[in-house]
Chain A
Amino acid sequence: MAAEVAAQIDLKSLAVALAIAVGALGPGLAIGQIGGKGLEAIGRNPEASDKIQTAMILGIAFAEAVAIYCLVIALVLNFT
């Protein structure tokens, strides 16, 4: 006797996983590009590396903030 197993998709878990997975794509690419440009600038002008480093870290924190917004949505969905 074949037991009927109804495949149930847990949409809430899927939403949580997709929120953070898709949400981290853009910032990941952005941080990579910011880091790349920053390192290139430091290579061209090592004397200004202090200023470039500060601006680069600030830019990276902004790009990361977008990923954090998606993470907050994922956490809110998960815990309510």
Chain B
Amino acid sequence: MEISLVAEPVIKILGFNLTNSLFTSLILTIFLLGFSFAFADTKLKLIPESHSLQNILEFIFEGLISIFQTAAGEKTRIFFPLAATYFIYIILGNWIGLLPGFGSIGLNEIISGKEVLVPLFRGVTADINTTLALALISVALIQYYGFKSLGLGYLKKYFNFKGPIDFFVGILELVSEFSKIISFAFRLFGNIFAGEVLLTVMAFLFPFILPLPFLGLELFVGLIQALVFTMLSLVFLKLATSHH
């Protein structure tokens, strides 16, 4: 039973090490882009016919808008592309690690004297690099939208010279921006990686009926973590763009 905290490089091209989770995320991205471009070619009807792809996608779209409206209020239209991208990418990245073949299909390599199986595929968000990247993008975009809507007045949130207590609160806000990065990254990584470890251990114990409820749990956790990441980003975006 091999569980690795870090994603191992599986493809080495021109000195660049492609890790297994990066490889999986490339496959996922190509799939999503291909689907989007293929769907963009179809003629959209004003009233879609039942059981058509347009109907299903409109259902998902409206569901996402109604969920985001509880967090973002009237700024939903501005932030919807960003939030929907986070949601779709993270939920598919979480769920793709549950497919058969992930963690079992791999290459036998010799690392530090022992022969281990290096899996060829690994869940996209089970890698701290991916979640750290998503967290950095989210916090950077919060600052960007803050400056874009409030101008330089956005800095008044952090450097508030009205009094000693306000100054201290401003410094705390600055520190909490950095803690947001850590919190986003570790919440997503911890949930998904712990789920992978749990599934590996359960499959190792008794591979026949026992992993089933844990697979269901992982589906649920994947959905909830995507939702939490998206809603939290929306809440912080709304806080950053609102006049105090």
In the complex the two chains form, is A79's CB within 8 Å of B4's CB?
A: yes
Chain A hits for B70, CB < 8 A:
51, 54
- Contacts known (A65-B183, A79-B5); A72 close to B189, Cβ less than 8 A: yes
**How far does the Cβ of A37 sit from chain B's closest Cβ, in whole Å?**
18
Q: CB of B105 within 8 A of chain A?
A: no
In the complex the two chains form, is B228's CB within 8 Å of A58's CB?
A: yes
In the complex the two chains form, is A61's CB within 8 Å of B224's CB?
A: yes
| A62-B67 Cα distance, complex, nearest whole Å | 18
Which of B175-191 touch A at CB < 8 Å?
183, 186-187, 189-191
- Contacts known (A68-B190, A72-B189, A75-B197); A61 close to B225, Cβ less than 8 A: yes
Which of A38-54 touch B at CB < 8 Å?
51, 54
In the complex the two chains form, is A68's CB within 8 Å of B228's CB?
A: no
Chain A hits for B231, CB < 8 A:
58
Q: CB of A80 within 8 A of chain B?
A: yes
| A80-B232 Cα distance, complex, nearest whole Å | 32
- Contacts known (A65-B183, A79-B5); A71 close to B228, Cβ less than 8 A: no
- What string of 1s and 0s marks CB contacts (under 8 Å) between A59-80 and chain B? 0011011001101100110011
| A9-B166 Cα distance, complex, nearest whole Å | 50
| A80-B3 Cα distance, complex, nearest whole Å | 11
- What string of 1s and 0s marks CB contacts (under 8 Å) between B200-236 and chain A? 0000000000000000000000001101100110000
Q: CB of B140 within 8 A of chain A?
A: no
**How far does the Cβ of A28 sit from chain B's closest Cβ, in whole Å?**
15
**How far does the Cβ of A74 sit from chain B's closest Cβ, in whole Å?**
9
A residues near B (Cβ < 8 Å) are 51, 54, 57-58, 61-62, 64-65, 68-69, 71-72, 75-76, 79-80
- 3 closest residue pairs by CB, A with B: A68-B190, A65-B187, A61-B228
